[in-house]
Amino acid sequence: MSVVRKFFEGASRLMPEVAKPKRRVGLAEKLAWTALAMIVYLIMGEVYLYGVPRTQVTESIFILHVVFAQKTGTLTTLGIGPIVTAGILLQLLVGAEIIKLDLSKPEDRALFTSTSKVLSLVVAAIQAFAFSMSGMFGTITTVQAVLIFLQLLIATFIIMMLDELIQRGWGLGSGISLFIAVGIAQDIMIKLFSPIVVSPDGLYQGVILATFQSILSGAGLSPVLLRSRNMPDIVGLIATVALILILIYLNAVEVEIPISYARFSGFRAKYPVKLLYVSVIPVIFASMIFGNVYYLSSMLWNSYNQDGKNVFLNLLGTFKKTETGQVVPTGGLAYYMVSPGSIEGLMKDPIRGIVYAGLLVVFCLLFAKFWVNVGGLSPSKVAEQLISAGMQVPGFRRAPEVIEKIIGKYISTVTVLGAIIVGLIAGVADYTNTFGTGTGLLLLIGILYQYYELLVRERLTEMYPALGRLLGEA
């Protein structure tokens, strides 16, 4: 393992990095840098890859756009996928102690960050090669393939720098979270207010404008109540609002375990265990698996099995190309790992809808259990943290195994319940044409809640500098 560590230490020295600010950055300046990073990312999402004909650009499944903040055919074709994949892979390796890093040490934390950047470029290179050589952009020359590969690699590097700019203290929160939230919010705004006509009914794409258009034409609400072709409609709008309210409530539900200081028995506190204990991590993991199965099977089909004669590749996935050039699954494992997407799609093939939701819940359960154990959220880890902070559970012996047993009952329950809830929301919400998808809204509400806490904290530390020094912000 020392050889691997030395390799990454050497490689990390070659990686450029954003310097931390040497002064305190005010809230207004942080918001400005955050907005700048967001604008750059949005511009990259509108710049199409040089050498790829627009007619050859095909959209991938929308869930990948949500989780990876990507837009196929543009500089954000890979989105934050390489960064997220590398980060999770490294976190799993460290959590499982396959790679020995003590993240409590500054030098190991720095090595973790630099190693994640190196792995991100490696993952980006693999994915860029797959995109440029698999035929996903139609028939292209070798020169075009090389240009696409280089553009995707450079774009990933720029996205890494934008994320690091924000995380280093120049901005607020995380660039990855910001890009995901902006992509989801952009989709919701399009479905609400888009003035483009893309449906046979002649109504605007945005449901708000389409509603006024339908009422003014004398047709009433019937044409926009339930629209076909995954167009935004009133049912989807109601489902979106209802789901947002439900998610806000679920994020606030928690179990409070009474704790106290061992040295000051009269001082009591509460340790909160949220219902959504592992948040949306299981959905992200599951979406990555589903997305990679879709990508792998579609690339293999496009390159080797368009005639459908290979039985083994048929089990992985069969596809067809629509009039717009989009590759759509028609059978195999990939078919059941892509949501039907609407009530209409669910009615056409209810078995697919049931299997998709079931697979999503199962994967969420597995990944929730796994992440609790390797992500530092297990009862034993929490017990160690409480003991090291000088805390105990009133009425019980101050020992790690005792606290672990008490907390473990709650953590085990909320882990299973939370995973089932997020899995069902992510899967079933799509059937009601929810704007941004169920997974997207799960991510969006969680990210906005984090930004709310950050803004409150930043505002407090500006008003009360002494509090900032207490919180380690100085």
| pTM (2 d.p.) | 0.81
- With respect to residue 312, please indicate whether it lies within any of the assigned structural domains: yes
User: What's the angle, vertex CA 52, arms to CA 48 and CA 53, rounded to 5?
Assistant: 100
Q: Indicate if 323 and 176 belong to the same structural domain.
A: no
Q: Indicate if 171 and 283 belong to the same structural domain.
A: no
Are the CB atoms for 443 and 174 separated by under 8 Å?
no
- What the block records as the tokens of 101 is 């890093």
Backbone conformation region of residue 261, classed left if phi is above 0, alpha if psi is from -120 to 50, else beta:
beta
Q: Indicate if 271 and 178 belong to the same structural domain.
A: no
- With respect to residue 134, please indicate whether it lies within any of the assigned structural domains: yes
Q: Give the number of domains in the chain.
A: 2
- With respect to residue 364, please indicate whether it lies within any of the assigned structural domains: yes
Q: Indicate if 293 and 406 belong to the same structural domain.
A: yes
CATH number at residue 333: 1.10.3370.10
Neighbours of 407 (CB within 10 A): 22
Neighbours of 190 (CB within 10 A): 15
The one-letter amino acid at 122: V
Q: Indicate if 301 and 414 belong to the same structural domain.
A: yes
Q: Indicate if 44 and 169 belong to the same structural domain.
A: yes
Report how far residue 62's alpha carbon sits from residue 316's, in angstroms, rounded to the nearest whole number.
Answer: 20
Q: CA torsion sign, 308 to 310 to 311 to 313? A: negative
Residue range of the domain that includes 89:
27-192
Neighbours of 420 (CB within 10 A): 16
Q: Indicate if 160 and 276 belong to the same structural domain.
A: no
CA dihedral 35, 39, 45, 51 (to 10 degrees): -140
- With respect to residue 467, please indicate whether it lies within any of the assigned structural domains: no
* Domain boundary pick from 192, 219, 237: 192
Token look-up 């290979």 returns 310
- With respect to residue 393, please indicate whether it lies within any of the assigned structural domains: yes
DSSP string, 298-311: HHHHHHH-TT---H
Q: Indicate if 187 and 276 belong to the same structural domain.
A: no
- What the block records as the tokens of 400 is 């790690």
Q: Indicate if 397 and 322 belong to the same structural domain.
A: yes
Q: CA torsion sign, 419 to 420 to 421 to 424? A: positive
Q: Indicate if 169 and 259 belong to the same structural domain.
A: no
- With respect to residue 204, please indicate whether it lies within any of the assigned structural domains: no
Q: Indicate if 255 and 181 belong to the same structural domain.
A: no
How confident is the prediction along the chain (474 residues), in pLDDT tens digits per residue?
A: 556 667 766 777 777 888 888 888 888 899 999 999 999 999 998 898 887 766 555 555 556 677 788 888 889 988 888 888 888 788 777 766 667 777 667 777 777 788 888 888 998 998 888 777 766 676 678 888 889 899 999 999 999 999 999 988 899 888 888 998 888 888 899 899 988 887 777 888 899 999 999 898 888 888 888 887 678 889 889 999 999 999 989 888 888 888 777 666 656 778 788 888 888 888 888 887 887 788 788 878 877 888 888 888 889 888 887 766 667 888 899 899 888 877 778 888 899 989 998 999 999 999 888 888 877 788 888 888 778 777 777 776 777 788 888 888 888 888 999 999 999 988 888 788 888 888 888 888 888 888 888 888 887 777 766 555 545 543
- With respect to residue 234, please indicate whether it lies within any of the assigned structural domains: no
Are the CB atoms for 183 and 198 separated by under 8 Å?
no
As a whole number of Å, the end-to-end CA separation of the chain is: 37
Maximum alpha-carbon separation in the chain: 75
- With respect to residue 7, please indicate whether it lies within any of the assigned structural domains: no
Q: Indicate if 292 and 178 belong to the same structural domain.
A: no
In eight-state DSSP terms, residue 254 is E
